[in-house]
């Protein structure tokens, strides 16, 4: 059985090189990275909250409308990785900067990779997130590792190259376990500016 990175490598989906966004990371990997970066730089870095991510993706209030065809703005369009989607020529992850930036100059806020955001508060979307605990194996794993519920769920934004074009929206979101990394999930770093 072939799965994960081995599948991605054998199907031309694995992106290797300095010009590709980081992927195959877990939420814990992303959190560890921003912690190390904060210590190294002496500044405060973190994952953006869901609201911060959406505000940046929309470039404040000026980015609500796409000014070009989606194929020029985002790497998304087909969950069938064997075919390039939206005539963009990429079977999987595209190098950074292949699509137009938003009005604030941020690249790939839509498409290419799903992006991990900060933890999901217990009071937010409780009904939706509680359904992941229907799996007794996941309950047992959570209890054995003594993690809080927030360690197992969060909001993923931005959609990936595997999303259908009609789902590739700034408002698209998913909620789920964050204990594994995959070919279509990465993260974006936020630098806190303060006094």
Tell me the per-residue pLDDT of 3-14, one tens digit each, with 9 for 90 and over. Answer: 344 444 544 455
Among residues 195, 174, 151, which one has the least CA distance to residue 50?
Answer: 174
How far is the C-alpha of 145 from the C-alpha of 143, rounded, in Å?
6
Over residues 10-34, mean pLDDT: 78
The string of pLDDT tens digits covering residues 146-191 is: 545 544 566 888 888 888 777 778 888 887 656 778 888 899 999 9
Contact between 88 and 94 under an 8 Å Cβ cutoff? The reply is: yes
Predicted local distance difference test score (pLDDT) of residue 36: 97
Predicted local distance difference test score (pLDDT) of residue 161: 84
**What is the set of domains in the chain, with CATH numbers?**
15-191 (3.90.1580.10)
Q: Tell me 166's DSSP state.
A: G
Q: What is the dihedral of CA 134, 1, 157, 139, to 10 degrees?
A: 20
Tally Cβ neighbours within 10 Å of residue 71: 17
The string of pLDDT tens digits covering residues 46-99 is: 999 888 998 898 887 655 555 555 656 677 765 555 555 555 667 788 899 888
Predicted local distance difference test score (pLDDT) of residue 120: 52
Tally Cβ neighbours within 10 Å of residue 78: 16
Q: Measure Cα distances from 92 to 7, 16, 79, 130 in Å.
A: 12, 11, 10, 32
SS (H, E, C) 163-190: CEHHHCCCCCEEEECCCCCCCCEEECCE
Which residue is it, tokens 């999901």? 120
Predicted local distance difference test score (pLDDT) of residue 7: 41
Q: Measure Cα distances from 165 to 86, 124, 151, 172, 187 in Å.
A: 8, 27, 30, 11, 21
Predicted local distance difference test score (pLDDT) of residue 118: 83
The string of pLDDT tens digits covering residues 97-106 is: 888 888 889 9
Q: Residue 190 pairs with which residues in a beta bridge?
A: 46
For the ranges 19-23, 71-75, 123-127, the lowest mean pLDDT is seen at 123-127
């Amino acid at each position: 059985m072939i799965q994960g990175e081995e599948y991605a490598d054998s199907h031309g989906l694995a992106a290797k090189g300095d010009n590709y966004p980081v992927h195959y990371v877990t939420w814990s990997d992303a959190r560890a990275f921003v912690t190390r970066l904060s210590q190294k730089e002496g500044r405060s870095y973190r994952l953006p909250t869901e609201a911060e991510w959406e505000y940046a993706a929309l470039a404040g209030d000026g980015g609500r409308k796409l000014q070009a065809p989606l194929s020029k703005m985002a790497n998304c369009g087909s969950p069938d990785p064997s075919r390039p989607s939206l005539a963009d020529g990429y079977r999987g992850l595209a190098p950074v900067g292949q699509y137009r930036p938003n009005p604030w100059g941020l690249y790939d806020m839509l498409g290419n990779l799903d992006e991990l955001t900060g933890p999901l508060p217990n009071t937010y979307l409780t009904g939706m997130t509680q359904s992941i605990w229907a799996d007794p194996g996941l309950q047992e794993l959570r209890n054995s590792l003594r993690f809080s519920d927030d360690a197992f769920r969060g909001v993923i934004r931005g959609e990936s190259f595997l999303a259908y074009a009609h789902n590739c929206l700034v408002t698209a979101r998913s909620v789920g376990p964050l204990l594994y990394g995959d070919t279509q999930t990465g993260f974006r770093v936020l630098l806190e500016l303060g006094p």
